């Protein structure tokens, strides 16, 4: 058993000053306000205590990549992001040949079953060549029903999200198939019109893959997919808050556009991180394409397209609060509760509440990570 006290604690009901929390058996047993009913093992002295981050879109970190699904590389990738407060992480696969994707999905499914990963995300190959970003155009395909079924079946329920360009042949059918399988159908890497994006939402799409990036831009006579995704209350929008993918004013605009009585409820922070994260500048490979990281920014060597990021969730959290106008509770929802709900794991993580896994992050007053607890086990930042 472990008892934490003296925290500025963010719960689903708001901020609890001088909060305490008790962990027992790897789960949150109780929490409250004021003096702890039992002696505290750790006094946070006013630091923030928030739920662990849930990253539903990331490709690697610490030199480890999800492509190839090597267990050692996956452990490195997970450990790297955990140091930055991410206690639940989805492995995102870039476009590839079907045989390779099926092999990787099967291997990642085993690691999901083992509890290391929170699921698998297919960010391709069913995306638009016109908005391919850092995906190898040679591997892009229309989402034929048999191929969609093949990869979903390979994951036996662990494929949590699939990104689709709905304007492709069979695109809307793919959205329906993904949603019917219980996974999240996401619209992304798309050149869809406004009307086609609306049709995808009606077909069951509920997420916008890194909104604004790899999408047809907004035009006042041709609003495109961005407006359709942003205006519909059924859609949660991913934001990559590294200061490269989005200007802070745009992130703030999204916050305002998705606001409700309880604050922004349709924003999920993601990192889209690649293996260079926490390693440094240099030359890398993403999905078979050469990538160069300079000053922390990853771009394809050929063409210069942004190639994922070197972002971590703690940096995204700080960017949201310090530069994009999010409050700390709003940033907690966007980095924990909302992605956990979308992934269907909110019955075990994503909030500070009795019965959930003890996935916790301690943030200093300047919002830097001081310590991380995953399933009741501490690790220092």
Burial of residue 63, with CB atoms counted within 10 A of its CB: 0-12 exposed, 13-18 middle, 19 or more buried: middle
Element housing 73 (H / E): helix 71-82
Q: Give the residue carrying structure tokens 């798309």.
A: 190
Provide the token pair at 188: 């992304």
The CA distance from 120 to 125, in Å, is 14
Residue 277 contacts residue 78 (beta carbons within 8 Å): no
107 is in an annotated binding site: no
82-110 as b/e, with b when 16 or more CB fall inside 10 Å?
bbbbbbbbbbbbbbbeeeebbebbbbbbe
Q: Could you tell me which of 214, 199, 212 has the C-alpha nearest to residue 257?
A: 212
374 is in an annotated binding site: no
123 is in an annotated binding site: yes
CA-derived radius of gyration, the chain = 20
Element housing 17 (H / E): strand 14-24
307 is in an annotated binding site: yes
Which residues are known catalytic residues? 272
134 is in an annotated binding site: yes
228 is in an annotated binding site: no
245 is in an annotated binding site: yes
Provide the token pair at 113: 């079953």
The CA distance from 352 to 379, in Å, is 18
213 is in an annotated binding site: yes
The CA distance from 221 to 30, in Å, is 54
The CA distance from 36 to 29, in Å, is 13
Annotated binding-site residue numbers for substrate: 134, 213-214, 221, 245, 306-308
Which residues sit in the known binding site for Zn(2+)? 123, 189, 210
Residue positions forming the annotated binding site:
123, 134, 189, 210, 213-214, 221, 245, 306-308
């Amino acid at each position: 058993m472990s008892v934490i006290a003296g925290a500025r604690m963010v719960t689903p009901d708001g901020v609890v000053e001088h909060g305490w929390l008790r962990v027992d058996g790897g789960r949150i047993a109780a929490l409250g306000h004021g003096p702890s009913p039992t002696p505290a093992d750790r006094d946070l002295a006013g630091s923030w205590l928030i739920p662990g981050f849930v990253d539903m879109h990331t490709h690697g970190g610490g030199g480890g990549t999800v492509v190839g699904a090597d267990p050692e590389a996956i452990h490195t990738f997970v450990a790297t992001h955990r140091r930055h407060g991410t206690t639940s992480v989805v492995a995102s696969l870039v476009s590839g040949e079907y045989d390779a994707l099926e092999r990787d999905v099967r291997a990642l499914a085993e690691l999901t079953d083992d509890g290391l990963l929170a699921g698998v995300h297919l960010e391709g190959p069913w995306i638009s060549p016109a908005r391919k970003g850092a995906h190898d155009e040679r591997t892009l395909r229309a989402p034929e029903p048999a191929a969609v079924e093949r990869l979903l079946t390979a994951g036996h329920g662990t494929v949590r999200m699939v990104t689709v360009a709905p304007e492709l042949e069979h695109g809307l059918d793919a959205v329906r198939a993904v949603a019917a399988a219980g996974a999240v159908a996401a619209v992304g890497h798309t050149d869809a019109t406004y009307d086609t994006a609306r049709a995808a939402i009606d077909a069951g799409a509920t997420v916008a893959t890194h909104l604004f990036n790899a999408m047809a831009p907004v035009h006042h006579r041709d609003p495109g997919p961005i407006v359709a995704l942003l205006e519909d209350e059924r859609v949660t929008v991913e934001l990559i808050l590294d200061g490269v993918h989005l200007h802070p004013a745009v992130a703030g605009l999204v916050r305002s556009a998705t606001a409700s009585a309880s604050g922004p409820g349709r924003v999920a922070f993601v990192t889209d991180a690649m293996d260079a994260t926490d390693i440094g500048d240099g030359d890398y490979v993403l999905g078979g394409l050469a990538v160069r990281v300079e000053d922390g920014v990853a771009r394809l060597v050929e063409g210069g397209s942004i190639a994922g990021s070197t972002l971590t969730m703690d940096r995204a959290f700080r960017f949201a609060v310090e530069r994009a106008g999010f409050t700390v509770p709003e940033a907690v929802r966007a980095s924990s509760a909302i992605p956990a709900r979308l992934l269907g794991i909110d019955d075990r993580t994503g909030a500070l509440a009795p019965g959930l896994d003890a996935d916790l992050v301690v943030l200093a007053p300047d919002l830097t990570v001081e310590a991380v607890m995953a399933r009741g086990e501490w690790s220092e930042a």
